[in-house]
Amino acid sequence: MTTSDAPSLTHLRHDGTAAMVDVSDKAVTTREATAIGTVNTTAAVMKLLGTGGLPKGDALAVARVAGIMGAKKTPELIPLCHPLPISKVTVDFELGETFVKVLASVKTRGVTGVEMEALTAVSVAALSVYDMIKAVDKHAVISGIQVLAKSGGKSGDWIAGEGQGS
Q: Give catalytic residues, as residue numbers.
A: 131
CB 132 within 8 A of CB 46: no
Backbone angles phi, psi at 117, to 5 degrees: -65, -40
Contact 100, 161 (CB under 8 A): no
Which helix (H) or strand (E) segment is 125 a member of?
helix 115-133
Rounded distance, CA 158 to CA 153, Å?
11
